[in-house]
Amino acid sequence: MICNPCQGTGFLNIGQVGDETLRQFDTTGDHQIILDWIEANTEHDVAVCDCCGNGETWYGIPGEHDWNNPDDPKGCR
């Protein structure tokens, strides 16, 4: 099931990321690209989604919820 707050990206406020970085992420699907951007930049509110993750890592697949994963809180769905 796709996570609504991050719209399946795994990140909140991803629109604040630069265009080139977003293109790389869209092309590769590599979440590390955005994680690296977050670490390298300070003037933003981009974060790992706190619905499909805990703000630092994901409960399973970034941007998705797994009804069978006991670590994935049911309240966010």
Task: Read off the pLDDT of residues 26-65 as tens digits, 9 standing for 90 and up.
Answer: 999 999 999 999 999 999 999 999 999 988 999 889 999 8
Go through the chain and tell me how many residues it has.
77
pTM: 0.87
pLDDT at 76 over 70: no
C-beta of residue 52 within 8 angstroms of C-beta of residue 62: yes
DSSP 54: -
For the chain, strand residue ranges (E) read 11-12, 47-48
What are the domain boundaries of the chain?
11-70
Work out the pLDDT band at 72, boundaries 50, 70, 90: confident
